[in-house]
Amino acid sequence: MTDYSLILFDTALGRCGLAWGPAGLRAVSFPEASDGETRARLRRRAPGAVEAEPSPEIARLVEDIAALFEGEKRDLSYAKLDLDGLGDFEQAVYALSLDIKPGEAKTYGDLAKALGDVAQSRRVGQALGRNPFPIIVPCHRIVGASGAMTGFSAPGGAELKRKLLKIEGALAPDLFDAP
């Protein structure tokens, strides 16, 4: 018997997934190449997770993620996160990331400076690259010093990061965006 549950759900960007347990949200997955790969990603942080009906809190999160990907502004920072197994540095980086509201962006250097040493920018990027809660802990809102869409390891990479920032209003639409 496992303490972890998971759900896969459809969004405008594809099938995403969430895994949760008694202490809160355990993992989030953007769309992978297949449902099996999405489940595998979720189970790396929530071993043995089984598909289950979502609790009201998880159902709200599913609805809000789907709405965000449709272009609605949603603040997902209310989600209760299970931080077990994450280091102090990662937790500090994720806490700072959660303070960045939809429509805003900061640089890796901004976060490193807030942690006390701008020289830690690369370490901040590495922590965000391991973020088990993408979209909830909004690592897409952290950009390179010049505003470059760097360091986004989710499927879709920098283009997905740019799309999310446009949805949230942190970047203006450009010539190639559909009206």
User: Does residue 63 share a domain with residue 130?
Assistant: no
- Residue range 134-154, pLDDT digits in tens: 989 988 888 877 666 666 666
Q: Say whether pLDDT at 179 is over 60.
A: no
28-48: average pLDDT: 95
Buried b / exposed e along 31-64 (16+ C-beta atoms within 10 A): bbeeeeebbebbbebbeebeeeebeeebeebbeb
| Residue predicted with more confidence, 175 or 131 | 131
Secondary structure of residue 45 in the 3-state scheme: helix
DSSP lists the bridge partners of residue 134 as 137
Residue 179 located in a structural domain: no
| Calpha distance 17→24 (Å, rounded) | 15
Supply the pLDDT for residue 161. Answer: 74
* Whether 139 is catalytic: yes
CATH of the domain at 25: 3.30.160.70
Q: What does DSSP assign to residue 120?
A: G
The two structure tokens encoding residue 140: 């897409």
Last residue of a domain, one of 37, 69, 101: 69
CB contact at 8 A, 151 and 161: no
User: Does residue 97 share a domain with residue 63?
Assistant: no
- In terms of DSSP bridges, do strands 50-51 and 5-11 run parallel, antiparallel, or are they unpaired? parallel
CB contact at 8 A, 144 and 160: no
The two structure tokens encoding residue 174: 């450009």
Residue 83 located in a structural domain: no
User: Does residue 37 share a domain with residue 104?
Assistant: no
76-83: average pLDDT: 94
| Residue predicted with more confidence, 84 or 168 | 84
Residue 22 located in a structural domain: yes
CATH of the domain at 135: 1.10.10.10
Supply the pLDDT for residue 68. Answer: 87
Report residue 178's pLDDT band, with 50, 70 and 90 as the boundaries.
low
Supply the pLDDT for residue 73. Answer: 81
- In terms of DSSP bridges, do strands 5-11 and 14-21 run parallel, antiparallel, or are they unpaired? antiparallel
| Calpha distance 123→53 (Å, rounded) | 37
Last residue of a domain, one of 23, 41, 69: 69
N- to C-terminal Cα separation, the chain: 49
User: Does residue 9 share a domain with residue 47?
Assistant: yes
Give the range of the structural domain holding residue 54, as residue numbers without chain letter: 5-69
Q: Name the active-site residue from 27, 61, 139, 142.
A: 139
Percent of the residues in the chain that have a pLDDT greater than 70, as a whole number: 88
The two structure tokens encoding residue 126: 């590495």
40-49: average pLDDT: 96
| Calpha distance 160→111 (Å, rounded) | 21
Residue 124 located in a structural domain: yes
Residue 95 located in a structural domain: yes
- Residue range 104-131, pLDDT digits in tens: 889 999 999 999 998 999 999 999 989 9
Residue 112 located in a structural domain: yes
| Residue predicted with more confidence, 14 or 145 | 14
- In terms of DSSP bridges, do strands 106-107 and 142-143 run parallel, antiparallel, or are they unpaired? parallel
Residue 136 located in a structural domain: yes
User: Does residue 132 share a domain with residue 100?
Assistant: yes
Last residue of a domain, one of 14, 34, 69: 69
Domain count for the chain? 2
Residue 78 located in a structural domain: no
Contacts of 22 (CB under 8 A, 6+ apart): 3
Supply the pLDDT for residue 151. Answer: 63
